[in-house]
Amino acid sequence: MDKVSIAVFASGTGSNARHLIELERANALHPAHVAVLVSDQPECQAVAFARLANIPVWAKKHKEAGGKEAFERAVVSFLQEHDVRLVVLAGYMRLVGSVLLDAYEGRMINLHPSLLPAFKGLDAIGQALDAGIQQTGVTVHYVTAGLDDGPVIAQTPVAIKPTDTKETLSARIHEAEHELLSEVVRTVCLLLKENEEK
């Protein structure tokens, strides 16, 4: 069975990107193939790990690329050169613009550390802690023009313990993210394949 090439977009630590790459190495991401990594932060850990793993990387700051539109046009060309069929935003801390959306809407998913629509935007884990609630979670959704908006594909709840700090809660959120994102990536790639074979 053919693989489905995916691009992972990341701006920071890249633990989710790394998990996907490691799963593929262990033959556990089928039918997805992590073809490339894209970043707006050339010095971030996600980029360093992808380079070590010999994954083709496209990484530039918006400014260096000539602004957001030029950045996205160059990224879309790079994705097309690598036959990318699904874009996975995993800690990509930029609002996607119209150039990327026109090319990949319906084939672009985003991971967010809350049970959307609760706690959109930055520091969703801190927002949940500050709200004093007992449960938060993680969401994977299709990307649309709005911030952390778009149809939800899957969610996992994560309990907030009274003793939780940002560090302890973040660690459990990340575990839930690694599991949920890889499951959704496999399923969406299978669906893409099935649709293309019809």
Which is closer to ligand GAR, CB of 77 or CB of 135?
135
* Short-list 83, 100, 17, CA closest to 52: 17
Number of C-beta neighbours around residue 55 at 10 A: 18
For position 14 contacting ligand GAR by CB under 6 A, the verdict is yes
Q: Which of residues 78-117 bind ligand GAR (CB under 6 A)?
A: 90-91, 111-113
| Shortest separation between residue 137's beta carbon and ligand GAR, angstroms | 11
Four-point Cα dihedral 169, 173, 175, 180, nearest 10: 160
Among 116, 177, 180, 189, binds ligand GAR (CB under 6 A): 177
Residues near 63 by beta carbon (within 8 Å), at least 6 away in sequence:
none
Residues in binding contact with ligand GAR, number by CB under 6 A: 14
Catalytic residues: 112
Q: Which of residues 119-158 bind ligand GAR (CB under 6 A)?
A: 124, 148
Residues near 7 by beta carbon (within 8 Å), at least 6 away in sequence:
35, 36, 37, 38, 79, 82, 84, 86, 87, 88
| Shortest separation between residue 1's beta carbon and ligand GAR, angstroms | 28
Q: Which residues bind ligand GAR (CB under 6 A)?
A: 10, 12-16, 90-91, 111-113, 124, 148, 177
